Structure formats: structure tokens, C-alpha cells
Amino acid sequence: MSVVRFALLIFVMLNAVGQPTPVKRERFQNSEVLYDWVSNGRGEKLRIFVTRPKNPAGKVPVIFFVGWLSCDSMEYPDGETDGFGALILRLIEQSGYATVRMDKPGVGESQGYCAQADFNSELQGWRAAFDSMSKYQFLDSNQVIVLGMSNGGGFSPLVTGGRPVRGYIAASSWGRTWYEHMIEHERRRLTGAGKSAAEVNDGVKAFTQFYNLYLNQGKMPGQVIAQHPEWRDLWYDAPDGQYGRPAAFYQQLQSLNLGRVWQSVNAPVLVVYGTGDTVMSRADSDAIAETVNGVHPGAARNYVVERMNHLFEINKKFDDALVPKLLTWMKETLAASLRNSFAQPEDRQFRIIVQPLQGAT
């Protein structure tokens, strides 16, 4: 190597040291993205993503997204890499609304360690992100739709801190106890694994005891297995957690009373479910609508899509009809709420009437 080439190589290497790696970001035709931070109770800084339509005419409605259970980012710089991303990105581009998302502790640029973050610290972050909307002058805080996906749809009313919103969408979600959800999930999993009916029954009986000790009695999965070695072959995850989250996360989910949460909701609700969902069951989703309608008849509707899976896909392709359906419901719900803003207070509570979507019940 010549002296000149060697000197040039050293120059390039020295200039590369300390240079931050560019972060790949989302790009939108109709919206721009603002990047900000909120903090949870542990003092961890959490990244939030706020989008606003380009050249908005005054304040705009906002969709507040509440995300899933896994340690995956809500930012999609590579486009529609999964169904959740397709839903988020299309709503940003097509709605004309602002949106707000957050990356939970330890995900993306957010501080912390997701595999050790419990549910309570995550919920603190969601609430901080919701509260942060008040600082953005282009957001209409009186026109908020909360859209929760998967796990986030079940607890989404908790993120508002009691502040009124115009509607909730719970997509591929749950409204029962986490214990009930997991027992039914294990039955489906064992059946899908080709176990015989007798093996499934034996497995479910063992899992009812296992999850009672784990979720209700506060034991680690490994402690349960040590206490009951006969269940060792049934357990398929970590000794101190499940699905990449700590045991405390699920124990705190189990401690929630989603019946109380949803019966306190005072806004229209759309529950989205696909019959091909192998993560959440129809009973998980129906529980939300049944609870809301038990207090406010007709306030909640089910939108059921045949063969659609947990990620809103049919035959491995995102259901193109879903976003237009959701936008129709949002626009009608927001328009109805605006009309009701001129009603007398005692008449406001449930004068909102949204025409049923095709396929909704």
C-alpha cells in the first residue's frame, strides 16, 4: 500500500469515529412526523411519534395508537412489514388526522430494557404520551379516537387517565381476565399442535393449575415447574417470563379488572375481530362489546372479518377493506359527537348513533 493511500485510509477512519449512524425514518406523502420524548415513573425517556397532515386547515382530530405486547417498535421505516404496520401507515396517509404513537421501554430509541419492563411502567409511558398531546396546537383534544391493537386494545381506556375521548377501536384484542385468555389460548395451541382430544384435556387441566400459581399466586413459571415437575414438558417458555416479557407483566395484566374498565367507558366502541385469529379468541373480543353494551346498549359494535388473522391479514395479505371501514366509523363517530356538542348536557351521553358497518353486528 502506498503512503498516500495509507494516509487517506487513516483520514477516513478517524473522521468516521464518533459519527452517529443515521437513523432510518418513515416518509409520508400526506403527513410529516415530529419526534419527541415522554418519561415514565422510572425516569426512562420514551420516544413518541406525532404525525400531522401537511397544510392542515386548523386543528385536526387525532388517532392515539396503543400498541401490542411484544418488544417491537411502532415505527415502520421499512414500510408495511406486517399487518399492524400496514394499519398504522395507511391510517396516517389516508385519514387526514394527526396520530400519536409511543415506543415502550427498551424498544427503538426508548430507554430501558423491554424484557424486564413490567406492565405498570409501560402504562405510565402510555399515559405520559396521551398527556403530551396537549402541547401540540394543531391537535384537537376534543376529537380523539383511541385505537388499541392486540394487548393494547384491552387496556386502552386506562391510558386516557379518565379524560374523555370520542371513541375506541379495539382490534384483535381481549376484554376478559388474562387467566381466561391464556387457558383458552393453550387449548387452541395444543389442538393446533395435533394433540389428541385426551391429551388436550389433560393439558388444559394442568394449565389451569399452572396459570393459577403463576398469574394469581405470583410465582415464577420456573418455580411452578420446580414445584410440579410433572408439568415440565408442558411449559415452553422462560423460567422467569413469557413471550419476551417478565412474569410480573402478566401478573399485573391479571390483576386488571377489564370488566370495570370497559363498563366505565362513555364513548362509542368498535371491536374488530378476524375469525382466523389464533392469538385472541372471539370470546376475548366479544367481552368488550358485551360489557359496554351491558351499560350503554348499542354503544359498542362488533366488526367481524371472515378468515382475517391477528395481524389483519387474509391469505397472508393485509385486508385492504379494513382501513376504509375504520375511517368510515371514525368520521361518522366524530361527526355525531360534534353534533351532540350542541345538545344539553343531560342529553349528550348516548345520543351518538353510528350506522352499522357492513359486516358489523
Dihedral sign of CA atoms 133, 139, 142, 146 in order: negative
325, 273 contact by CB (below 8 A) = no
What is the DSSP code string of 193-236? Answer: TT--HHHHHHHHHHHHHHHIIIIIS---HHHHHHH-GGGTTT--
* Domain parsing of the chain, residue ranges: 31-176+256-348, 178-254
C-alpha cell at 50: 406525532
Distance from C-alpha of 345 to C-alpha of 342, rounded to nearest angstrom: 9
Phi then psi for residue 257, to 5 deg, are -115, 85
Which residues, 6 or more positions from 328, have their beta carbon under 8 angstroms from its beta carbon? 357
Q: What is the residue whose three cell numbers read 349528550?
A: 348
* Helix pair 178-192, 197-211: axis angle to 10 deg: 150
Q: What pLDDT score was predicted for residue 15?
A: 53
Cα–Cα distance, 71 to 331 (Å, whole number): 31
**CATH class for domain 31-176+256-348?**
alpha beta
CA distance 281 to 150: 11
pLDDT of residue 360: 54
Residue that is written with C-alpha cell 478517524 in the block: 14
Q: Are 77 and 24 in contact (CB under 8 A)?
A: yes
Q: What is the reported pLDDT for 239?
A: 98
DSSP-derived secondary structure for 59-122:
-EEEEEEE--SSS--S--TT--SSHHHHHHHHHHHHH-SEEEEEPPTTSTT--S-GGG--HHHH
**Count of CB atoms situated within 10 Å of the CB of 283:** 14
Element (H, E) at 51: strand 45-53
pLDDT of residue 55: 86
Contacts of 110 (CB under 8 A, 6+ apart): 44, 45, 46, 47, 102, 103, 104, 125
**267 with 296: CB under 8 angstroms?**
no
Position 347 scores a pLDDT of 34
CA end-to-end distance (rounded Å), the chain: 75
In tens digits, the chain (361 residues) has pLDDT values of 555 455 555 544 445 455 566 788 999 999 999 999 999 999 999 999 999 999 888 999 999 999 999 999 999 999 999 999 999 999 999 999 999 999 999 999 999 999 999 999 999 999 999 999 999 999 999 999 999 999 999 999 999 999 999 999 999 999 999 999 999 999 999 999 999 999 999 999 999 999 999 999 999 999 999 999 999 999 999 999 999 999 999 999 999 999 999 999 999 999 999 999 999 999 999 999 999 999 999 999 999 999 999 999 999 999 999 999 999 999 999 999 877 753 333 333 333 333 345 455 5
Q: What's the pLDDT score for residue 22?
A: 78
